[in-house]
């Protein structure tokens, strides 16, 4: 019902990062693509099979050092139902390897439809009286801008199934301020108000480390707002995208952490997935290149957290 399981994985691996799994065919080594095309032809089936093999290689190489993965649903939906099946298989594979899985779906809708999303991604679907996990993630990203009606259905599922949600608060993209930075009548910004909602929504699903099961997405590309929200939303765990490919670095993400070095998990997707292309190494070494980048990222961020803690 909270992020306790994720926090425990972060502490166990001593690594507050999450590897994004946003696979595109352009990132996948040709030996994997050629094998899939030889088997299935130039079809969606081949693309989905290539994605799965690529993801499994990454998960195998990362599962002992990285606590979590974040598959972004759009990269799977792009390949039709075959791609969506790969999403479900990726989630199951990562969980079987002990990783915490955050499905980045940014779902939102009115109450009854949100109930269906909650059941699909975090809960158990009733199939002719039998309860079955459909996608089975540990956490889901959601958009809270439809208000409490759109979030409440998730809270019950989070409590019953020990799952969590990350609500979009201050996103990493360049135009996020067009709406999110606007001042409301209260004098507070829209993102600050959404952060307050997260604190409130999480009150009933509080965990033993002081963080609830309602987290917030706050971008690494806005370090000042990360620091501001860390103070203003002390019970809200942050999922921080924008490190690496979007320009964020260790200094930028440092304000996301609390005095114990917890409170945030930093995402890198392209930085880890495409490390083999950046390194220009042998394509057969793609998963080990991802591991090298994950270790570099972990060490850079942990060193920065350590400096801050040492300086009080
Ligand atoms: O504000 C947001 C919310 C979500 N994202 C997602 O995170 C990853 C970032 O990928 P990189 O390759 O590390 O840039 C991607 O899945 C986005 O959809 C975000 O970037 N910003």
Is residue 278 classed as helix, strand or coil in its secondary structure? helix
- Spell out the SS3 assignment of 152-205: HHHHHHHHHHCCEEEEEEECCCHHHHHHHCCECCCCCEHHHHHHHHHHHHHHHH
- The pLDDT tens digits of the residues spanning 142-194 come to 999 999 999 999 999 999 999 999 999 999 999 999 999 999 999 999 999 99
Task: Identify the band that residue 1 occupies on the pLDDT scale cut at 50, 70 and 90.
Answer: low
Residue with the smallest CA separation from ligand 1 atom 10 is 269
Q: 265 in helix, strand or coil? A: strand
Q: Is 163 part of the annotated catalytic residue set?
A: no
d(CA 298, CA 250): 9
Instruction: Tell me the backbone φ, ψ of residue 268, rounded to 5 degrees.
Output: -135, 125
Ligand 1 centroid distance, CA of 167 (Å): 14
- Say if the ipTM goes beyond 0.90: yes
DSSP string, 127-161: ETTEEE-SS--SEEEE--TT-HHHHHHHHHHHHHH
- DSSP string spanning 69-86? EEEBTHHHHTTHHHHHHH
Residues 59/288, Cβ–Cβ less than 8 Å: no
Is any ligand 1 atom within 6 A of the Cβ of residue 105? no
Which residue, judged by its Cα, is nearest atom 16 of ligand 1? 72
Q: How far from the centroid of its chain's Cα atoms is residue 274's Cα? A: 18
Q: Cα separation of 229 and 224, whole Å?
A: 9
CB of 72 closer than 6 A to ligand 1? yes
CA of 247 to the centre of ligand 1 (A): 12
Distance CA 244, CA 140 (A): 22
| Torsion over CA: 71, 75, 78, 82 (sign) | negative
Distance CA 59, CA 209 (A): 27
| pLDDT tens-digit readout, 234-265 | 999 999 999 999 999 999 999 999 999 999 99
22-75 pLDDT, tens digit each: 999 999 999 999 999 999 999 999 999 999 999 999 999 999 999 999 999 999
pTM for the structure as a whole: 0.98
CB 21 within 8 A of CB 70: yes
Of 123, 138, 125, 33, whose CA–CA distance to 92 is shortest? Answer: 138
Domain map (residue ranges) of the chain: 2-24+103-305
Return the number of other C-beta atoms located less than 10 Å from residue 116's C-beta. Answer: 14
Question: Cα of 217 to ligand 1 centre, how many Å?
Answer: 10
CATH topology of domain 2-24+103-305: TIM Barrel (3.20.20)
């Amino acid at each position: 019902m909270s992020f306790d399981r994720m926090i425990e994985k972060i502490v166990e691996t001593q690594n507050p990062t999450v590897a994004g799994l946003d696979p595109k065919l352009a990132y996948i080594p040709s030996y994997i693509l050629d094998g899939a095309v030889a088997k299935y032809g130039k079809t969606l089936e081949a693309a989905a099979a290539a994605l799965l093999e690529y993801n499994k290689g990454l998960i195998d190489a990362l599962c002992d050092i990285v606590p979590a993965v974040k598959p972004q649903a759009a990269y799977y939906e792009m390949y039709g139902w075959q791609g969506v099946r790969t999403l479900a298989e990726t989630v199951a594979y990562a969980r079987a390897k002990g990783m915490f899985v955050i499905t980045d779906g940014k779902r939102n809708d009115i109450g009854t439809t949100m109930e269906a999303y909650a059941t699909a991604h975090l809960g158990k679907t009733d199939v002719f009286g039998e309860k079955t996990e459909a996608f089975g993630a540990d956490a889901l990203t959601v958009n809270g801008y439809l208000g409490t009606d759109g979030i409440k259905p998730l809270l019950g599922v989070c409590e019953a199934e020990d799952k969590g949600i990350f609500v979009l608060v201050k996103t990493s993209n360049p135009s996020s301020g067009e709406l999110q930075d606007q001042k409301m009548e209260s004098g507070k910004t829209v993102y600050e108000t959404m952060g307050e909602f997260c604190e409130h929504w999480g009150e009933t699903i509080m965990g033993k480390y002081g963080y609830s099961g309602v987290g917030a997405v706050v971008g690494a590309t806005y370090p000042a707002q990360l620091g501001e929200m860390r103070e203003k939303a002390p019970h809200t765990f942050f999922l921080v995208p924008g490190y690496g490919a979007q320009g964020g670095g260790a200094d930028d993400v440092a304000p996301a952490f609390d005095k114990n070095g917890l409170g945030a998990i930093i995402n890198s997707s392209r930085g880890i997935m495409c490390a083999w292309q950046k390194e220009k190494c042998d394509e057969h070494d793609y998963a080990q290149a991802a591991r090298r980048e994950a270790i570099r990222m972990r060490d850079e961020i942990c060193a920065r957290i350590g400096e801050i803690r040492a300086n009080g």
